[in-house]
Amino acid sequence: MVHVLVHYSEIGIKKGNRKYFENLLTNNIRQRLGGLAKKVCKDYGFILVETSKTKEVVKILEKVPGIAYLLVCSKSNLSMDDMRKKSSKLLEKKGFETFRVSARRQNKNFEKTSMQVNAELGAFIVKKTGKKVQLKKPDVELVVEVCNKNAYLSIERHEGIGGLPTDPKNKVVSLMSGGFDSPVASYLMMKRGAQIILVHFQNYKQMKGSVEDKIHQLAKRLSKYQGRTLLYIIPFEKIQQDIIMNVPASVRMLVYRRLMLRISGIIADKEKAKALVTGDNMSQVSSQTLENLGAVYPASKKIVLTPLMGFNKTEIINLSKKIGTYETSKLPYGDCCSYFLPQHPELRAKLEDLEKLEEKLDKKLIAEAVKEAKKHVL
């Protein structure tokens, strides 16, 4: 049985709310690991996972929001003799020339201070291996956590994604195309503890099978960060035709986006979500000028969150590669927006003008689109 110590950072500064977030993260870990973990419990300053499936557990936990880093550990009793034995066993198959010992004594009743543990274990390793102590950038770092009942020793650290644990009370609906921006925006909100519900609007000219497969791939990739994920596919053919017949080409995209927000708001009410999320990035395209955003967002009765607003495209692409959505996002497809691109788009639309144009549209089509939506669970 291997012990994995789950460390968090942001939760630790929550003061009066710290216990709530610790319990939330502990429960999320239990749900995500299921039968892979024999035990998941809180300790002071970390969460302890006991497992015999180390690789599988680490792979999952690296993507769980709220986790700063993981330590794969060997458990020792509270004696320097046992710590020496365990450290020797950990290091015997590890090739290295330099090392350091980093001890943290949570149990203040333990007979040695952190500095004394560092010194004694360091001297032992030097004598046993002949290797050198190097405090900056050593080949290997032996981490020692001295707790109330046991000590845990590790030379294997894995980084998490940080942020806050997923909270079912913080449901939000994310409007997801098949491009780079919206999956990254969804991921960033997951890191802030939001539980994401994905909504995709399907163009009637799209090759439905291939596009739905691409959207499902993106949704599955994002579900690795929050677990169970809902995906709505909204048919948009009739609404598109209605817009084309009644709205000037220069502002069709903006009216379309207003209806997209309205439909997403209905899904949000249905799922008891509190806000909407978009992949908007200021002035990246004509529909995202401040004036146009100011004319589009009032169509939503929900808060509209825009985590990418200050990002540039290179930053978004790099993050998509990091989270694993890049290869899927770059696959070719025609989304709804591409069919609304005029030769001379409006850059400074007025809210009252868009509202008047929207009055010409068939209101029943929104209800029909929601009714015909396909709901998937990933």
On whether the CB atoms of residues 153 and 86 are closer than 8 A, the answer is yes
Does 273 fall in a domain? yes
> Distance between CA 164 and CA 291 in Å, rounded?
33
Could you tell me which residues come within 8 angstroms of residue 32 by beta carbon, excluding any fewer than 6 positions away?
Answer: 60, 61, 64, 227
- The answer to whether residues 222 and 353 belong to one domain is yes
Assess whether 153 and 189 both reside in one domain.
Answer: no
Report yes or no: 197 and 267 within 8 Å, Cβ to Cβ.
Answer: yes
CA angle at residue 210 from 321 to 261, to 5 degrees? Answer: 75
Domain count within the chain: 2
Backbone dihedral angles phi then psi of residue 340, each to the nearest 5 degrees: -115, 10
- Joined together, the tokens standing for residue 254 give 């903006």
pLDDT above 90 covers a percentage of the chain that reads 89
| pTM metric for this prediction | 0.94
- In single-letter form, the type of residue at position 213 comes to D
Both tokens of residue 192? 């802030």
CA distance 147 to 152: 8
Domain shared by 244 and 198, yes or no: yes
CATH of the domain at 215: 3.40.50.620
C-alpha to C-alpha distance for 254 and 361, rounded to whole angstroms? 14
Q: Are residues 365 and 306 located together in one domain of the fold?
A: yes
**Of 102, 128, 113, 332, residue with least CA distance to 210:** 332
Pairing of strands 69-76, 151-159: antiparallel
- Asked if residue 164 belongs to a domain, the reply is no
Same-domain status, 201 and 314: yes
Q: Single out the residue in 130, 159, 188 at which a domain terminates.
A: 159
- β partners of residue 46: 43
Say if residues 199 and 264 touch (Cβ distance below 8 Å): yes
pLDDT the model gives residue 188: 98
User: Residue 16 maps to which CATH number?
Assistant: 3.30.2130.30
Q: Which of 257, 277, 273 is nearest to 174 (CA)?
A: 277
In a domain, 165, yes or no: no
Distance CA 286, CA 348 (A): 9
Give DSSP secondary structure letters for 214-225. Answer: HHHHHHHHHHHH
Which residues does the chain have with pLDDT short of 70? 204-209, 333-341
pLDDT in tens, 85-98: 999 999 998 999 99
The residue from 159, 193, 218 where one domain ends is: 159
Does residue 37 fall inside a structural domain?
A: yes
Which pLDDT score, from 0 to 100, does residue 354 have?
A: 98
Q: Are residues 224 and 107 in the same domain?
A: no
245 located within any domain = yes
**Three-class SS state of 233:** strand
Task: Note whether 79 and 187 are same-domain residues.
Answer: no
Q: Are residues 226 and 117 in the same domain?
A: no
pLDDT at 172: 98
What tokens were used for 359? 């009055």
Cα→Cα distances 65→25, 57, 159, 169, 275, Å: 8, 15, 12, 15, 19
Residue 166, domain member (yes or no): no
Count other C-beta atoms under 10 Å from residue 109's C-beta. Answer: 8
Q: What is the DSSP string of 7-28?
A: E-SGGGG-GGGHHHHHHHHHHH
| Domain around 73 | 2-159
Domain boundary among 136, 159, 182: 159
Task: Please state, in angstroms and as integers, the Cα–Cα distance from residue 62 to each residue in 67, 111, 157, 192, following that order.
Answer: 7, 34, 11, 16
Query: From CA 319, how far away is CA 331, in angstroms rounded?
Result: 17
Residue 265 is assigned to a structural domain of this protein? yes
Same domain for 188 and 254? yes
Q: What does the pLDDT read at residue 342?
A: 74
Closest CA to 226 of 187, 174, 180: 187
- Residue 49 in any domain: the answer is yes
For residues 71 and 101, membership in a common domain is answered with: yes
Distance CA 330, CA 326 (A): 6
Residues 49 and 85 in one domain: yes
Q: Are residues 10 and 58 in the same domain?
A: yes
